Structure 1
C-alpha cells in the first residue's frame, strides 16, 4: 500500500490512499488579479487599438457623480466588454471610435465619416443598441437601428464606412 503526503496549514501528514483523502485535505483559494483590458501589443496591432485602449483606460477611474450631475460611475465590466467587442468587429484599418461615458454607467462608441455616422451604446455587457445615420437621396438622412444580436451587421458597417 502506498501513502501520499498532504499538506494542511503548515503541517505535513501521511495519509492512506483512500477515497475520502481529497475530501479531508484543505485548500485556500488564490485570488489572481486580472486586467480589465488586454495589452494592445499582444492582442491587436491595429491603428485604432492604441487610441481605444487609452480612452477606455481614461474612463476607468471615473466614479459616481463624475460630472457633478449625479451620473453613475463607468462600469468596469462595460469597459471590458467594449474592448472585446471592438476586437471582434473592427477592421484592421478601421477608424478609432470616439468613446464617451454615459450617465447610467455605460459608454457610447461613435464613428463619423462623410457618408455616415454610427452610435453604439453599451449600457451593460450584452445590452447594446446601435444607430446608423446615412446620407440618403437628396441629402436626407436615413436612420437605421442595427441588429446587435450578432456582430455581423456592425462589422459590415464599419468596413463600408469607417476605414482609414
Structure 2
C-alpha cells in the first residue's frame, strides 16, 4: 500500500491529511481503514470557513490577556452543529471566540437574540431572549438539539413574516 499526500485540510492550511491508495497488485483482500470527512454542504459552513481558520489560528493573548485560540475540536463540532441548524431563510451566525478556547454562535435579529456557546463536542449552552415579550430562556444540551433547532426555525419564521409585512 502506498501513501499519497493529499493536502485537504480542515480549517488550517498547515495540517496535511493523508489518503491511502491501494495499487491492486494482490488478489488477497486488504482490509483498509477509512476515515471519511463529509464535505460541508450548507452555505453557512462554506461562508464561515475562513472565519473558522482565523479563530483556530489566533495567537495566545489575542484578547489582550491570556486568550487562547479556539480549539480545533470545538470548531469542528461547531461546524457540524451549524451544518445541522442550517436554514436558508437566515443569514449565517456570527462566530465569536471565547478566551478559554471555546466559541459562540450568535444571531441578533427580528427582536430575538440567540447565542449558542459551544464548549466542546456535545457540550452546548444556548440562550434566547425574545425582546418583544421580554422573556429569556437558557438550555444546556448534550445530545438532543431539537429545542435549539426549533429556536432557529422560529427565528426564520419570524424573519419571513417580517419580510412579508415589509413587502420584501
TM category (shorter chain) comes to 0.5 to 0.7
Contact 1:59 1:101 (C-alpha < 8 Å) held by counterparts: yes
Please give the TM-score of this superposition, normalised by the length of structure 2: 0.66
Question: Do the aligned partners of residues 49 and 110 (structure 1) sit closer, same or farther apart at CA in structure 2, a change above 3 Å counting?
Answer: same
State the structure with more CA Rg.
1
- Structure 1 Cα separation of the partners of residues 9 and 60 of structure 2: 21
Q: Which residue, out of 125, 137, 141, partners 1:144?
A: 137
TM-fit CA distance, 1:33: 7.1
Contact 2:124 2:140 (C-alpha < 8 Å) held by counterparts: no
Contact 1:147 1:153 (C-alpha < 8 Å) held by counterparts: no
**1:44 and 2:55 correspond:** no
**1:155 and 2:149 correspond:** yes
Question: Do the aligned partners of residues 147 and 73 (structure 1) sit closer, same or farther apart at CA in structure 2, a change above 3 Å counting?
Answer: closer
**1:82 and 2:78 correspond:** yes
Aligned to 2:125: 129
TM-fit CA distance, 1:75: 0.6
TM-fit CA distance, 1:35: 2.8
Q: CA RMSD in A?
A: 2.6
| Post-superposition CA distance 1:86-138 (Å, at most 9, x none) | 1012223322111111011001110011231100011222221000000344x
1:161 match: secondary structure: helix
2:124 match: secondary structure: strand
Contact 1:66 1:72 (C-alpha < 8 Å) held by counterparts: yes
Flag structure 1 segments of 5+ consecutive residues without an equivalent: 1-26
Contact 2:111 2:130 (C-alpha < 8 Å) held by counterparts: yes
Flag structure 2 segments of 5+ consecutive residues without an equivalent: 12-38, 161-168
Question: Do the aligned partners of residues 112 and 60 (structure 1) sit closer, same or farther apart at CA in structure 2, a change above 3 Å counting?
Answer: same
- With 118-127 and 49-58 compared, the bigger mean Cα shift is at 49-58
